[in-house]
Copies of this chain bind each other. A is one copy, B any other.
Amino acid sequence: MIVALSGGIGGAKLALGLSHVLPLSELLIVANTGDDFEHLGLSISPDIDTLTYALAGLDNQELGWGRRDETWSFMETLGSIGGETWFRLGDRDLALHVERTRRLRAGETLSAITAGIARRLGIGPRILPMSDDPVRTRLRSDAGWLDFQHWFVRDQTRPPVHAIDFAGAAEARPNPLLLEALRSRPRAVVICPSNPFISIEPILAVPGLRAAIAACGAPVVAVSPIIAGQAVKGPTARMFEQTGMVPSAAAVAARYAGLLTHYVMEPEDDAAGIEAQVIRAPTLMRSLKDKIALARVVLSAA
Contact = CB atoms under 8 A, between A and B. Distances in A.
Contacts of A98: 40-42, 74, 78, 83
Secondary structure at the A interface, as helix, strand, loop or mixed, is helix
Interface string A60-81: 0000000001110111111011
Given A40-B102, A105-B41, A95 B120 contact: no
Given A41-B105, A91-B91, A83 B99 contact: yes
Copies of this chain, whole number:
2
B71 A92 contact: no
A201 to B, nearest CB: 30
**Interface size range on A against B:** 20 to 34
A146 interface: no
B42 A82 contact: no
Interface of A: 40-42, 69-71, 73-78, 80-83, 90-92, 94-96, 98-99, 101-102, 105, 116-117, 120-121
22 contacts: A40-B99, A40-B102, A70-B73, A71-B71, A71-B73, A73-B73, A73-B91, A74-B91, A74-B92, A74-B98, A75-B95, A77-B92, A78-B98, A80-B120, A80-B121, A81-B99, A81-B121, A82-B99, A82-B116, A82-B120, A83-B102, A91-B94
